[in-house]
Structure 1
Amino acid sequence: MDSAVDTAAHACSFPEGTSVSSPNRTLIVYVDVDDMLIRSVGSKRIPIVPAIEHVRRLHATGAELYCWSSGGGEYARASAQEVGIEQCFRAFLPKPHLLLDDQPVADWKLCIELHPLSIHDQDAIDYWQQIATRMMS
């Protein structure tokens, strides 16, 4: 294992010898805009600096990031651009109105959902450990 991230990811039953940024090991992250990256108060938009810095750190560690919003893909792109992190995202998407899947999202073992207030001081290692714990439950 080449890092603590690999150790945690390995607990999720990923193949030995692949790096955390290989296609079958990359941490995929969907990031919302409103009240995650930007808070709106009346007509004023206030960047949420800790969340923006968190996105930058995840990007730097090789996470694959997607920015989405119920306001649409262009709104997501413009918002990311506004706070200086457009380059961190692979794509900008609207939030879906309908999700067709054979499993409820709550049953996705490889997916965790976090509130913006719970990301303080967490990193990819923490997320892989949470995913590993979820897989073992």
Structure 2
Amino acid sequence: MRRQPRLRVFLKGRIVFNNGQSSIDCLVRDMSAEGARLMLSETAALPEKFDLYIPQKEKTHRATLRWRREDGVGVTFDQAEAPVREFSGDATMAVLLRRVGELEAENAALRRHIAELHGTGASAPVL
């Protein structure tokens, strides 16, 4: 039984593990100071412990997996360390650099698609 009720939230999250080399996007649906319920498409790849980064709160929680279902997981936040800490360090930099690379590739693909639309005489979308 939970010591604190979880509040319903709708926050974007990122699960980071494998020393920052792996990450999975998720949606934080319920949250308290002690844990959360996360929705994600693939739960099988999650390790028992990982960092949960919540960009809107600019916080990272060290999380321990407590239960797993097909579409989500329940976690508790480790209290041995500071329960909430800033997202920083070399692992963070690796995650950020990989994400920047992904966004640059997506941007380049969109620019190519726009150029193709202009080249075929199709009208450009009005922004």
Same fold (TM over 0.5): no
Greater strand share, structure number: 2
What TM-score do the two structures reach when normalised by structure 2?
0.27
Greater helix share, structure number: 1
**Which gives a bigger RCO, structure 1 or 2 (Cα 8 Å, sep 6+)?**
1
What TM-score do the two structures reach when normalised by structure 1?
0.26
Q: Which has the larger radius of gyration?
A: 2
